[in-house]
Amino acid sequence: MVVPRLVVAAPASGSGKTTVATGLMAALRGRGLKVSPHKVGPDYIDPGYHALATGRPGRNLDPWLVGEDLVAPLFAHGASGCDVAVVEGVMGLFDGRGGTGFASTAHVAGLLAAPVVLVVDVSRQSRSVAATVHGFASFDSRIQVGGVVLNRVGSDRHEELCRAALGERGIPVLGAIRRDDAVAVPSRHLGLVPAAERGAEAVAAVDRLAALVARSCDLEALVRLARAAPPLEATPWDPVLAVKGPDGASETVRATVPEAPGVARSGPVVAVAGGAAFTFGYAEHVELLRAAGAEVAVFDPLRDEKLPDGTAALVVGGGFPEAYAADLAANEPLRARIAAFGGPIAAECAGLLYLCEALDGHPMCGKIRTTARMTDHLTLGYREATAVRESLLTRPGERFRGHEFHRTAVPAPERPVFAWPGGGDGYGEARLTASYLHLHWAGCPALASRVVKCS
């Protein structure tokens, strides 16, 4: 499979990867190219901006969550039919899980055989940038650093010094971006404010990033670098084939009907929470639910007073309910309907909070007899969890790889669903799994089948 592609990486977080990657995606789309957007790691927020920039779903590539063997197939699935793919990295180029390089940007670049563009913040250096880039380019011979984008350049003279130093090492400079506070994206306690919460403001921000990158970077040279990537030896991931795996998933697969207005589907309706309060979700989850035979309907707990017609199951993913607790509480009709709902519910993090009796004193749905609260403590990291009880999504003894990312707390249940070294959590029963643990269902497609099968 021939997919022109490149990875936008950096020596460290905060160097400007999101600015360059999102702006590049939007600028290339502005040139008439079909751009496939990807993000290394479990992050949900950057893909939202990528989706605005490209008009396509932002997709995550994470070897920890889905396994090394699925990274290239998932990439190929997302990039099918596109002219170029841009992959935004995570943290520093070689920073992976714990003290290893596993699940790092370099790891994913290697799995994709993709050239790397290194974004370097040069605001406090000039000639030293060459030493920085030389070190990153030579650290791992399997990784091709194909060029550099200088970020936060202070002046023409500053740019000349940086270019000269890199020229001595034969390192191409593919762009030089001046300091511009106007393109900064607002942030809060868990990082950038999601694009879905900003509405038209987010669209305008992406447009500014596109203009910035278009005038500051050599788009033709970047596309040439992407086209220099070798053919990718990967068969695109197929959600229908994925759900026909172990666990008897094949018996839940029904003939799928193309999504179109007015077209009836025969499968159960799985309602997926969306809107500004529930923005965290992977595109493959909906694809797997549909492949397992479900009709997926999105609802907004902030605005909708009832569930979609015919709802047979609920999926309530992550997001920022703590930022909208009062508004969620004010939607009493929907909370009452969810409290009375007897179908299966799969909930993660924000979904867990929404199902509690209260969040920071605001009444929630009351499906789980406990309360949640905001704290000053950030819980963040990958988890290798073992299911210790049966629930909607889990069977005892099964192992899952996921991640946690929150500043809230829910009292530990007496009988948790998941356990891992030093911790564990999750409320569960035959028709419920609610936990802080974020899972990527492409790595365990039986989860989609279990939701549909129980509907």
Residues belonging to the active site: 349
d(CA 159, CA 150): 8
Question: What's the one-letter identity of residue 385?
Answer: A
Between the CA atoms of 300, 304, 306 and 309, what dihedral angle is there, to the nearest 10 degrees?
-70
d(CA 134, CA 170): 10
Q: From edge to edge, which strands make up the β-sheet containing 145-153?
A: 59-61, 35-40, 84-88, 5-9, 116-121, 145-153, 173-178
Strand, helix or coil at 160?
A: helix
Q: What is the DSSP string of 395-420?
A: -TT-EEEEEEEEEEE-PPPSS-SEEE
> Does residue 268 contact residue 312 with C-beta atoms inside 8 Å?
yes
Name residues whose C-beta falls within 8 Å of residue 429's C-beta, 6 or more positions apart in sequence.
391, 392
Best CA proximity match to 357, nearest among 380, 377, 339: 339
d(CA 403, CA 384): 8
> Does residue 284 contact residue 290 with C-beta atoms inside 8 Å?
no
d(CA 293, CA 267): 5
Phi, psi of 309 (to 5 degrees): -55, 135
Q: What is the DSSP string of 97-145?
A: STTS-TTSHHHHHHHHT--EEEEEE-TT-STHHHHHHHHHHHH-TTS-E
